Amino acid sequence: MNPPLFTESFLLPPGFRSAGVHAGIKADPAKSDMALIVSDVQDTVVAGMFTTNKIQAAPVKMGIETCKTGRARAVIVNSGNANACTGKQGVLDAQEMAEKTAGLLGLSADEVLVSSTGSIGKPMNMPPVRQGIAMLSEALSAEGGADTAKAIMTTDTRPKMCSTTIVVDGKTVTIGGCCKGAGMIEPNMATMLSYICTDAKIEAADLREALKTAVSRSFNKISIDGDTSTNDSVICFANGGADNDSLNPDHPDWVLFQTALNGVIFDLAMKIVWDGEGMTKFIELQAQGAVSDQEADKALRAIANSFLVKTGMAGTYPAWSRMVDVLGYCGVDIDVDKLSIWYDELPILIDSTPALPDAEALKKILHSNRYTVRLDLGTGGAGEAVLYTCDCTEEYVRINMF
Amino acid sequence: MNPPLFTESFLLPPGFRSAGVHAGIKADPAKSDMALIVSDVQDTVVAGMFTTNKIQAAPVKMGIETCKTGRARAVIVNSGNANACTGKQGVLDAQEMAEKTAGLLGLSADEVLVSSTGSIGKPMNMPPVRQGIAMLSEALSAEGGADTAKAIMTTDTRPKMCSTTIVVDGKTVTIGGCCKGAGMIEPNMATMLSYICTDAKIEAADLREALKTAVSRSFNKISIDGDTSTNDSVICFANGGADNDSLNPDHPDWVLFQTALNGVIFDLAMKIVWDGEGMTKFIELQAQGAVSDQEADKALRAIANSFLVKTGMAGTYPAWSRMVDVLGYCGVDIDVDKLSIWYDELPILIDSTPALPDAEALKKILHSNRYTVRLDLGTGGAGEAVLYTCDCTEEYVRINMF
C-alpha cells in the first residue's frame, strides 16, 4: 500500500460543514470562541473518547451517553469557559446548547454533542452562547475547517489541523481533523479537544475500536504538565459518503485506514506538545529494560511530571541525574546498579556509572529544540514505552499565574 | 508541664562541638561548604532517618548501616556535590571522608557519619575535601552551631536553626538543631539534611522512636516540588550529658521530651517550606472526609505536586478549580457531588457547587503570603491529613534551569 500523505489543514469530507465565530464569550473580538461541525448525512456514526477524570464537565457526561449509541450528527463547541464544576446549572446550560443547536439544524437534541473548554468553576454566560449558536448555523460551510480549528483555541498559539486521503475500494476516503490543547495536558487525554471527520463507511463499533487504537498511540502518549482535565474529548464522525465497502478488521484496506487515522491523530497530538504552554523544547522519552510496558510507562510519566526534570530541560542543565532520582522514587522496579541513559545516541550513564560524554557533543544536544532521552531501567525485562513531552519554562508559570 | 520555648539558633548542648568552613568545593570563597559536628562523650547514641529513594548516595548507604548500631560520635558534611550516581569511586570517596575525619578526631571510621548535598552525578573533587576536614578539626567549637548551619546550605537563602531547653528530673536538657533544603523536596524527606544534638540521656532505640514520630509530623509533611532526593538524612545525636534518668515512654517527662523534639524538628521543616526555591506563598493544605488518612494524604500530595495548582498559587488565580481537577484524576475515593473547599474559613465550593464567595474577601486571601486550603472529599469518612507546601514561581524555574 502507498503510505498516506498528510496536509496541515482541517479538510472537511463531502457531506460535512463547519464554522467558527466570535460570539462574545471571550472579551477580545479578534478571538473566535464558538464552533459547530455538522454532518448532513442521516446515517452518520460517531465514536468518542473522553477524560478519565472522575470530575467530568457537564457536556462530557452528556457526550459519553450519546457516544454509547454510536449516533450523532453535530458537535457544538465553546472556548473560554469549561462548564466544569458548575453544579446543576452547568448541566442545564449544556442541555440548552444541544437543544438550541438541534432546533436550528432540524436535528433532535440527542444527535448533538457539546464541548466546552476554558476556565473551570465559572458559571456559563449564556446570552452570547445563544447568539453564537444562531451565528454558527448561518455560517456553516464546506470550507469551515480552519475557522473551526481557530475557534476552539484557548492558550494555544496556533490552530492545529491535519488531514489525509486514502483510496478504499477505488473510492477516495478523506480523514480531516483538528484539535486544541496546550496546558493541563496529560495522557488519558487533557484539556484537549479533538474532532475528526471522515466520509469512510464504517460501523460505529469498528470506528470506536479504530479511534481507541489511534488515541492510545498519540493523545495518550503526551504530557505537558501531568494535569488531566475535566473536559477532554476526542470525537470522530463517519458519514459513509465515500460509499466504500464497510470498513472492519476483515476488510483488505483496514490496515490502511487505521494507519491513516493513526497518522492524522498522531500528528495532531505532536502539535499539542510543540505548542505546550511556554515550551521551547520537544523531548521524546523512551524507556526500555522494564519488567513490563506498564512499568516503563509509569517511569516515563513520573519523569515527565517532575518539576526538576522539566525545568532542567528548559535550560542547559543535563537533567539525566534528576531522572535517575525520579526512577528511584517513582515506585517502578529498577536495578540500581544497571541504569543506563542516552541523550540521542550519546551515552550519559552506563550501568549506573557516569559515561562522562564529550561536553561539546552533550551541549549541542541540550541546546537543540528536540532530542530523545532513552533510559534502560536495568531489570533485563522486555518492558518498554515512549512518551512525548516538553520543557517547563518561566513562560509556563507566567501563563498559569492568573 | 510548661511548653518548651524555642529559639532561632543551633545551640550545641554541653559536650558537643562543631564548625563550618570554606574548603573550596564551591567556587565562591564567601560560601562555606564543609561542616563537622562532634560529640566528645564516649557513650553518645545516634538515630538516623534516610531517604526512601531506591537510588541512594554513597554516604547514605553507609549512614543507614551505622545508625543500625545506634553508635556514632560525629558527622562530616560537604555541600556543593551530592556524591550520588558516582559509581564505585563515590563509595571510596565517602569512606575516605569518614576515615580521615576519624583519624583526626581519634575515633574509629564507623563512628563517623558522612553527608553530602549538591549536584548529582559529578565525581567528588577530593583535594579540597581532604583540606576541609583538616580545617574543620582545628575549628571545632562549642559555639560552632551557626557556622555549621551555614556550611550545609546549597540553594537555601538562609541558615535554618532551632533550639529549645526543657527540664527533666531537675536537669536542663538542651535540644539544638539545624537543617538545609529548598528544592527537590518531598515527603519521605528531600535534598534535605538535618542534624539534631541533645544532651538528654536516652537509649538509642528510644531515640529512634522519638525521632521517627517527630519526622513523621514535620519533614514528611512538606513538599516543595514533589522530588524526593537521593541524599536526605536526619541525624540525631544524644550524649547523655544532662544525666537525667534515661528517657523512655514510661518516664514521666517522655511527653515533654517528645513535644520538645517535635517542636524543634517541626520548626526546621517549616523553615524549609518558607525558603522553598523561588517561593512567595506558604500554603497549608488540609484534607478531611476521606475514606482513610492515607487517601487524604495521597490527595494532598497530588495537589501539592500539580504544576497548575502551584503556578496558580504563585499569582492570584484561585487554584481551587485546578485542585478539584486533581482530585478527579489522583486515584483517591471522592464523592463527585459532595466536594467542598474553604480558603481559610471562606467557603469556595460546597457540595460541588461554587459558593461564589465575596470577591474582595477571596482576593485578600489570594494576595496574602500564607493561607490554608481545606478540602472535604465528600466520602463521609474520617480520613484526614495535612501537608505544608508553597507556590511555584518563575524564580523556581530560573533556579533550576542551569
Best interface-test mutation with A: which of B397, B398, B399 has the largest number of A CBs within 10 A?
B397
Q: Which residues lie below 8 Å from residue B299, measured CB to CB, with a gap of 6+? A: B287, B290, B326, B327, B330, B332, B334, B375, B377, B385
Stated as kind and residue range, the H or E segment containing A105 is helix A87-105
Asked if A149 and A162 touch (Cβ cutoff 8 Å), the reply is no
On whether any CB of chain B is under 8 Å from the CB of A324, the answer is yes
Residue A307 to residue B87, Cβ atoms within 8 A = no
The pLDDT assigned to B189 comes to 38
Residue A54 to residue B327, Cβ atoms within 8 A = yes
- A228 part of a folded domain: yes
The pLDDT assigned to A187 comes to 38
On whether any CB of chain B is under 8 Å from the CB of A188, the answer is yes
Residue B184 to residue A393, Cβ atoms within 8 A = no
List the CATH number of the domain containing B175.
3.60.70.12
Q: Are residues B122 and B169 in the same domain?
A: yes
Q: Is pLDDT at B38 greater than 70 in this prediction?
A: yes
DSSP codes, B257-300 = HHHHHHHHHHHHHHHHHHT-TT---EEEEEEEEESSHHHHHHHH
Which residue from B230, B307, B326 is facing A325, i.e. has the nearest CB?
B230
Give B383's strand partners.
B290
Active site (annotated) includes residue B148 = no
- Per-residue pLDDT, averaged over A21-49, amounts to 96
Asked if A188 and A282 touch (Cβ cutoff 8 Å), the reply is no
Q: Is pLDDT at B190 greater than 50 in this prediction?
A: no
Give the residue with greater pLDDT, A165 vs A2: A165
Q: Which of A274, A293, A323 is the last residue of a domain?
A: A274
Question: In Å, how far are A70, B156, B174, B195, B232 from B163, measured between CA atoms?
Answer: 68, 19, 7, 11, 21
State the nearest Cα–Cα gap between A352 and chain B, in angstroms. 6
Residue A86 to residue B322, Cβ atoms within 8 A = no
What is the rounded distance in angstroms from the CA atom of residue B20 to the CA atom of residue B13?
Answer: 17
Q: Are residues B244 and B267 in the same domain?
A: yes
The pLDDT assigned to B229 comes to 72
- Side-chain-side CA neighbours of B284 within 13 Å: the count stands at 14
Q: Are residues B241 and B308 in the same domain?
A: no
On whether any CB of chain B is under 8 Å from the CB of A117, the answer is no
Residue A353 to residue B87, Cβ atoms within 8 A = yes
The pLDDT assigned to A118 comes to 86
- Per-residue pLDDT, averaged over B21-36, amounts to 96
Backbone angles phi, psi at A42, to 5 degrees: -55, -45
Band (A1; pLDDT cuts 50, 70, 90):
low
- B242 part of a folded domain: yes
On whether any CB of chain A is under 8 Å from the CB of B213, the answer is no
State the nearest Cα–Cα gap between B272 and chain A, in angstroms. 17
Q: Are residues B313 and B262 in the same domain?
A: no
* Number of structural domains found in chain B: 2
E-only strand ranges, A158-204:
160-168, 171-180, 193-198
What is the rounded distance in angstroms from the CA atom of residue A267 to the CA atom of residue A48?
Answer: 18
- A293 part of a folded domain: yes
Residue B336 to residue A55, Cβ atoms within 8 A = yes
- B17 part of a folded domain: yes
The ipTM (two decimal places) reads 0.77
DSSP letter for B3, please.
P
Compute and round to an integer the Cα radius of gyration of chain A. Answer: 22
* Chain A CA closest to residue B308: A400
Q: Which of A240, A274, A308 is the last residue of a domain?
A: A274
- Side-chain-side CA neighbours of A205 within 13 Å: the count stands at 2
Q: Are residues A257 and A110 in the same domain?
A: yes
Q: Are residues A193 and A68 in the same domain?
A: yes
Q: Are residues A370 and A236 in the same domain?
A: no
Q: Are residues A260 and A300 in the same domain?
A: no
- B1 part of a folded domain: no
Q: Count A/B contacts: CB-CB distance under 8 Å.
A: 190
What is this structure's pTM? 0.85
The pLDDT assigned to A189 comes to 38
- A1 part of a folded domain: no
Percent of chain A scored above 70 by pLDDT?
A: 96
pLDDT digits (tens, 9 = 90+) for B140-188: 999 999 999 999 998 899 999 999 999 999 999 999 999 998 766 553 3
On whether any CB of chain B is under 8 Å from the CB of A312, the answer is yes
Q: Is pLDDT at A122 greater than 80 in this prediction?
A: yes
**Nearest of A208, A129, A117, A152 to residue A32 by alpha carbon:** A152
pLDDT digits (tens, 9 = 90+) for A202-247: 999 999 999 999 999 999 888 866 666 778 899 999 999 999 999 9
Q: Are residues B111 and B223 in the same domain?
A: yes
Asked if A132 and A21 touch (Cβ cutoff 8 Å), the reply is yes
On whether any CB of chain A is under 8 Å from the CB of B116, the answer is no
Q: Are residues B350 and B219 in the same domain?
A: no
- B212 part of a folded domain: yes
- Per-residue pLDDT, averaged over B300-314, amounts to 90
Q: Are residues B265 and B332 in the same domain?
A: no
Residue A328 to residue B120, Cβ atoms within 8 A = no
Residue B227 to residue A402, Cβ atoms within 8 A = no
- Per-residue pLDDT, averaged over A261-268, amounts to 95
Asked if B241 and B14 touch (Cβ cutoff 8 Å), the reply is yes
Q: Are residues B340 and B249 in the same domain?
A: no
The pLDDT assigned to B307 comes to 85
On whether any CB of chain A is under 8 Å from the CB of B108, the answer is no
Give the residue with greater pLDDT, B189 vs B147: B147
Q: Which of A274, A301, A319 is the last residue of a domain?
A: A274
List the CATH number of the domain containing A329.
3.10.20.340
Query: Which domain, by its residues, includes A151?
Result: 6-274
What is the rounded distance in angstroms from the CA atom of residue B268 to the CA atom of residue B274?
Answer: 10
Which residue from A53, A312, A349 is facing B85, i.e. has the nearest CB?
A349
On whether any CB of chain A is under 8 Å from the CB of B379, the answer is no
